[in-house]
Chain A
Amino acid sequence: MKRIWGVLGAMTLALASTAASAQEKLVVSIWGGNWKEGAGIIAKEFTKRTGMEVEFITGGTLDRLAKAKVAKDSPESDVVFTTSQVGFLYQADGLFEKLDKAKIANYAGLVQAADRGDYEVGVYSYVYSPVYRADLMPKDFKLTSWNDLWSPEVGGKLSLPDFDPSHIIIASAVLAGGTAANWEVGIPLLEKLKPGVKAFYQSDATSQDLLKTGETPVQVMLSINAYHLIQNGVPVTIAIPKEGAVVGIDVLGINAGTKKLDKAQEFINVALDPEIQRQLCNFHKCSPMHKDAKIDAELAKLPGIFTTPEQWSTQAIITPDEIRAKLLPTWKAWFTENMMQ
């Protein structure tokens, strides 16, 4: 009996010490893989400045949102990394603290696209754009417009994301003379595209696999993933269509109910520091949100990397988070019921 009490006592102590160590750390919720690795750049500098360690908890975009919803008043994390439209869902459900922008010194130097309202702030951006394997396509094949996805050369070779069809829906709406808000104008074009779609991908890993194996030589793809493939020797060409590429922005927000509000704001401030922005963008091959971030000249030349106001105005299709968040379920339902059957 004494032994059982001894074991129970040891377990209680172990649990108590785990809880205590979690209290001393800033907990950041983020995706796994290279996203977490990139956020490590921020964490390292944050720890250097504040002496507080950072602990990452990882998961997919929507399962982390679902967990935050369940935890609500007792959040598992202090800071959340997510996409801007999903960030809107966090704030709409009262899961984000209002940002005290006065305490985030680097906020003043941000580009306009970084301003995602009072509850979240853009950290870097990327594009969803058509990419292709030139070595598996006919000679002289080029993609200069979203319209080219409807060409006979692309038929039967295209893959699209099924978890978020907003990019192709927005692009079709733009081609039909509309915007995301009146996306229905693009429906005839989408229906015409359907026979040309070979597969739908469900994750970044499957997306890269489809292109790497040549299973679908053309894809609407996240630019960061495309650059990742290029770095690994896969001959991928990223096209920025003349109509613009669909911009995605990863944001930071603070969990409502966090007990480390000041430290959470400092984490965001560190993430927006021009030098950290430079390091982040060199790592991910993405566009910085701080105007003073001096990214490498070679990186600045790459398609989908926006560093000037002119690039933002001519090459980027930006959709308000609220429209995207509210329409995504409708888009998703339409896409599943009409494109995937």
Chain B
Amino acid sequence: MSKRPFLIPFLVPAILVAVIFLAALAEILQYSLREFIPGSLDVGGFTLDNFARIYRPVYFKAVINTFVLSLATAFFTLILSYPIAFALVRTKVEWVRTLLILLSITPLFTGEIVRTYAWMLVLGTNGFLNTMLLDIGVISEPVTFMYTRAGVVIALVQFAMPVMIIILATAISHINTDYEKAAANLGARPWTVITRVVIPLTMPGIISGFIVIFAWTMSAFATPQLIGGGKVLMISNAIYLQGFSALNFPFAATLSVIALISAFASLALMKLIANRLERQTAIH
């Protein structure tokens, strides 16, 4: 212990935060089992009714929506971010790197609300995208992007890309380029080098990026709220509606517990798949 004199003082804040976090979780769990009394902020006795209500289509759909949209967001973010991260790491032209950093990372420093509002202007019936497509004759009628799952995913992907690019760029920068040169010398075409060498070597980054974005999107609130316009409910939106519109804190707590369980279950499943994938793509 004498070798690490600061261990206990440094651990105290972490323990304190953990205790407060666990106490809050226990309070949510306790609330989820209480009866709601309309017209009052007080709660009634213990009941399991709140959990039975989860099976109503709207809430069940919100859980499914959350899973599907998180999966889609993580997937498209990965597909779009990988080439950018690759170019960012490998380019030898300084201004190209600066431009890529500016375009891909800077959005991280604007808030979620600002970016979502910008997307509302782009995706609206009279927004930038529809106006442009109409002007160049690609469409004859405005396409509905707002209040659809596609619209929500587009905005979420753009929101998540900077984080994914940072994770992937770190992974790509750690590859020893000698492997690629060796593959090329042995006759591999550039595409083969990418798919058989680069991607497998960056698999840990791909997996952690995918999981981070998936977990992050599971708790998305403002983007589905504004772009989804109440037509695309994710679980956090359903919690907000119950807690802060209906003042039904017990049911909002029940939905929170379900959200937490879903997130843990999804991540565990994903980790299982990721481990298998990592083993399969490992270069021996």
Could you list which residues of chain A lie within 8 angstroms of chain B, going by C-beta atoms?
60, 62-63, 65-66, 69, 88-89, 92-93, 159, 162-164, 198-202, 206, 209-210, 213-215, 322, 325-330, 332-333, 336-338, 340-341
Beyond A215-B125, A336-B238, whether A162 also contacts B39 by CB under 8 A is no
Closest to A326 in B: B39
A340 touches B39 (CB 8 A): no
Contact A206 B58 (CB under 8 A): no
Q: Does B61 contact A (CB under 8 A)?
A: yes
- Besides the contacts A65-B41, A162-B245, what 19 more A-B pairs have beta carbons closer than 8 Å? A62-B244, A162-B230, A199-B229, A202-B225, A202-B226, A213-B121, A213-B125, A214-B125, A214-B126, A215-B146, A328-B38, A329-B247, A332-B241, A332-B248, A333-B242, A333-B248, A336-B242, A336-B246, A337-B56
B63 interface residue (CB < 8 Å to A): no
- In the complex, what residue of chain B is closest to A214 when comparing beta carbons? B126
Q: Which of B10-64 contact A (CB under 8 A)?
A: 36, 38-42, 56-59, 61
Are A340 and B231 in touch, CB under 8 angstroms? Answer: yes
Is there contact, CB below 8 Å, between B245 and A209? no
Q: A62-B244, A202-B225 are in contact. Are A69 and B125 (CB under 8 A)?
A: no
Query: With an 8 A cutoff between CB atoms, is B85 at the interface?
Result: no
Q: Which residues of chain B have a CB within 8 Å of any CB of chain A?
A: 36, 38-42, 56-59, 61, 120-121, 124-127, 146-147, 225-226, 229-231, 233, 238, 241-242, 244-248
User: Closest 5 interchain pairs by CB?
Assistant: A200-B230, A199-B229, A332-B246, A326-B39, A341-B58
**Which of A93, A164, A200, A213 contacts B42 (CB under 8 A)?**
A93
Interface pairs (18), CB distance under 8 Å: A62-B245, A63-B244, A65-B247, A66-B41, A88-B39, A89-B40, A93-B41, A162-B245, A164-B245, A200-B229, A200-B231, A202-B230, A215-B126, A215-B146, A328-B246, A329-B246, A332-B241, A336-B238
Please, which residues of chain A bring their CB within 8 A of the CB of B247? 62, 65, 89, 328-329
Contacts A162-B241, A333-B248, A341-B61; A199 near B146 (Cβ below 8 A):
yes
- Complex alpha-carbon distance, A213 and B147, angstroms: 14
Contact assessment for B246 and A89 in the assembled complex, using a CB-CB cutoff below 8 Å: no
Known: A326-B39, A330-B38. A198 touches B147 (CB 8 A): yes
| Set of chain B residues within 8 Å of A327, measured between Cβ atoms | 38
Residue contact B40 to A333, C-beta cutoff 8 Å: no
User: Across the interface, which residues of A come within 8 angstroms of B246, CB to CB?
Assistant: 328-329, 332-333, 336
Cα separation A210 to B117 with both chains bound (whole Å): 12
Per the bound structure, the CA–CA distance linking A337 and B146 in Å amounts to 21
Return the chain A residue nearest B36 by Cβ.
A329
Chain B contacts for A325, CB-based, 8 A: 39
| Nearest CB on A from B19, distance (A) | 19
Complex Cα gap A66–B244 (Å): 9
Closest chain A CB from B131 CB (angstroms): 12
What are the residues of chain A within 8 A of B147 when measuring CB–CB?
198-199
Interchain CB contact under 8 A, A336 and B241: yes
Residue of B nearest to A332 (CB): B246
- For residue B15, give the distance in angstroms from its CB to the closest CB of chain A: 24
Alpha-carbon gap, A325 to B247, bound state (A): 10
- Determine the chain A residues whose CB is within 8 A of the CB of B226 once the complex forms: 202, 206
Note all chain B residues with C-beta closer than 8 A to A338: 58
Task: Tell me the complex Cα distance, A200–B58, Å.
Answer: 15
Q: Give Cα distance in the complex from A199 to B38, angstroms.
A: 27
Residue in chain A with minimal CB distance to B117: A209
Q: Which residues of A contact B225 (CB under 8 A)?
A: 202
B residues near A63, Cβ cutoff 8 Å = 244
- Would A201 and B230 count as touching, CB distance under 8 A? yes
- Does the CB pair A199–B126 fall under 8 Å? no
CB-nearest residue of chain B relative to A328? B246
Chain A residues contacting B59 (CB-CB under 8 Å) are 337
Contact B229 A329, beta carbon cutoff 8 Å: no
Chain A, residue nearest B241 (CB): A336
Q: Name the contact of A341 in the complex, choosing from B36, B42, B57, B248 (C-beta under 8 A).
A: B57
Min distance, Cβ B224 to any Cβ of chain A, angstroms: 11
Bound Cα distance A338, B56 (Å): 10
A337 to B147, CA, bound (A): 17
Determine the distance from Cα of A206 to Cα of B229 in the docked complex, in whole angstroms.
Answer: 9
| A213 pairs with B126, CB closer than 8 A | yes
Chain B residues, Cβ within 8 Å of A162: 230, 241, 245
- What B residues does A65 contact at CB under 8 A? 41, 247
Measured CB to CB, the nearest residue on chain B to A322 is: B39
Cα–Cα distance between A219 and B147 once the two chains are bound (Å)? 16
